[in-house]
Amino acid sequence: MTSSTSWLDEDLTFSNDAKTNKKTPFYEPIVNSFESGNKPHVSYHYNPDVSNYHYGVRHPMKPFRLMLTDHLVIAYKLYEKMDLYTPRRATREELLEFHSEDYVKFLETVTPDNVNKYSQVLKKFNIGDDCPIFDGMYDYCSLYAGGSIDASRKLINGMSDIAINWSGGLHHAKKYEPSGFCYVNDIVLGILNLLRTHPRVLYIDIDLHHGDGVQEAFYLTDRVMTVSFHKYNGEFFPGTGNYDETGVGKGKHFSLNVPLQDGIDDESYINLFKSVIEPVITTFKPTAIIQQCGADSLGCDRLGCFNLNIKAHGECVNFVRSFGLPMMVVGGGGYTPRNVNLFLDLIIHFIQI
C-alpha cells in the first residue's frame, strides 16, 4: 500500500520516544485487536506528578506508592510491551461534567492555610479525617482524573484495547462531596466520556468497599450497569451495597450488589465472580467495561479483612478480559505494597496474551 508507506515517513509523523529512543507514530489507528485475533494493545496512563502528594502523615492513603509502579514499568521493561502516556490534568470543565460547580470551586480554593475561613462549608462538603484538606489537593484530583479521561479517550479512538490508570479508581466521591479518601470520581468521568460513543458500559468493582459513588451516579440509567463485590454488614464503610439496591426508574435492575462477609477465600470468590459476571456480560452486552481493582480486598491489607490472594484478583480480571471487549482498568483502595504486586501481576496477565 503506497499510501501507508508515505504515512510511515519518519520525518513527517513520528516523534522520538524518550525512554526507548525509538521513533514512534503520533497516531496509530488500531481497531479492536481482540476481534482481529491479534494481541490486545495495552496502554498505561500515568502522570508521575500524582505521586508527589500526601494526605497527611498518619493517613493510610499514600499516593507515593504509585511511584513504585512506575519503577516496575522501567525495571521489567514493561514499556516495550505497552504504550505509556503521561496524561494531562483534567480541566475544570471536565470535572464539571459530573461534579457540582460550588464543590469544584471549593476544591480549587481551599488550602490548609485558609481552611479556617471555610468552617461552615467543611460540614456541607463532608470534610473530616478521611478526607482532609492537604496541599495541592486540587492538582492531585485533576491529575488522577486526567488519567482516567485519557484512558477512556484511547479506548474510544481504538488506540488501546486495555487502558490502565492505576492512580485512579476513587469510587466513593460524590457529585457534591468527597468520601472515603476520594475527592473527585475519575471513574464516573471516564464512563461519561465512554458514553459519548458507547451505548452500554459495564462497571465492575472488586474493592473491599462498596462502589457507592459510581452506583449513585448511574442509578437511574440503563446505559451503565454497575456490579460491586464488597464487604457488607450494614455498618462497614460506606454502609451501603446490600443486594436490594438494584437501581431506580429506567435504571431498575442495572445496579447489582454482591454483599460478602469476612474471610471469603480465593476459590469461593472466583466461582462467585464468574457465576455473576458471565450472565451479566452475555445479557447486558456492554460495548466497554471499566474494572476497579482495589487491592484492599487482598488479605493482610491495613484496612482489609477478606482472605484473598493476588491470584484471585488476577483471575477475575483475566476472566473479564477473555470477553474481548475494550476495557479500562483502574486501581483504588489498597494501602500496602500488595497493591504494587497486584499491579504487576495484572500487567503480566495482559501483555503475555
Set of cell numbers at residue 124: 456541607
Q: Which of 43, 333, 336, 345 binds Zn ion (CB under 5 A)?
A: 333
The owner of cell 519503577 is 71
* Window contacting Zn ion (CB under 5 A); options: 129-137, 184-192, 264-272, 331-339: 331-339
**209 secondary structure, DSSP code:** S
Beta carbon nearer to Zn ion, 251 or 259: 259
Please, are residues 253 and 247 in contact by the beta-carbon 8 Å criterion? yes
Please, are residues 41 and 159 in contact by the beta-carbon 8 Å criterion? yes
CB neighbour class for 118 (10 Å; exposed up to 12, middle 13-18, buried from 19): middle
In the bound state, the residue with its beta carbon closest to Zn ion is 333
Amino acid (1-letter code) at residue 150: D
* Window contacting Zn ion (CB under 5 A); options: 44-52, 63-71, 181-189, 204-212: 204-212
Instruction: Round to whole Å and give the CA distance between 220 and 255.
Output: 9
Beta carbon nearer to Zn ion, 40 or 333: 333
Q: How far apart are the first and last CA of the chain?
A: 29
Q: Is 301 in the site for Zn ion (CB under 5 A)?
A: no
Beta carbon nearer to Zn ion, 61 or 163: 61
Set of cell numbers at residue 86: 503521561
Q: Which of 70, 94, 205, 207 binds Zn ion (CB under 5 A)?
A: 207
Residue 133 C-beta: closest distance to Zn ion, Å: 21
Instruction: Round to whole Å and give the CA distance between 292 and 166.
Output: 9
Contacts (CB under 5 A) with Zn ion, residues 244-273: none
Please, are residues 179 and 191 in contact by the beta-carbon 8 Å criterion? no
Q: Which of 306, 286, 311 is nearest to 296 (CA)?
A: 306
Query: Which residues carry out catalysis?
Result: 210
Please, are residues 273 and 229 in contact by the beta-carbon 8 Å criterion? yes
* Window contacting Zn ion (CB under 5 A); options: 219-227, 255-263, 265-273, 292-300: 292-300
Residue 241 C-beta: closest distance to Zn ion, Å: 11
Residue 339 C-beta: closest distance to Zn ion, Å: 11
Set of cell numbers at residue 302: 491495613
* Window contacting Zn ion (CB under 5 A); options: 89-97, 98-106, 149-157, 202-210: 202-210
Q: Is 209 in the site for Zn ion (CB under 5 A)?
A: yes
Residue 202 C-beta: closest distance to Zn ion, Å: 20
Beta carbon nearer to Zn ion, 60 or 158: 60
Beta carbon nearer to Zn ion, 161 or 207: 207
Q: Is 294 in the site for Zn ion (CB under 5 A)?
A: yes
Residue 179 C-beta: closest distance to Zn ion, Å: 11
Beta carbon nearer to Zn ion, 143 or 298: 298
Q: Which of 296, 317, 320, 321 binds Zn ion (CB under 5 A)?
A: 296
Number of C-beta neighbours around residue 3 at 10 A: 7
Question: Which residue(s) pair with 205 in the sheet?
Answer: 228, 292
Q: Is 205 in the site for Zn ion (CB under 5 A)?
A: no
Beta carbon nearer to Zn ion, 146 or 333: 333
Close Cβ partners of 273 (under 8 Å, ≥ 6 residues apart):
206, 229, 316, 319
Q: Is 313 in the site for Zn ion (CB under 5 A)?
A: no
Could you give the C-alpha distances from 343 to 31, 71, 258, in angstroms and in order?
26, 12, 24
Q: Is 230 in the site for Zn ion (CB under 5 A)?
A: no
With CB under 5 A, what is the number of residues at the site for Zn ion? 6
Contacting residues toward Zn ion, per CB under 5 A:
207-209, 294, 296, 333
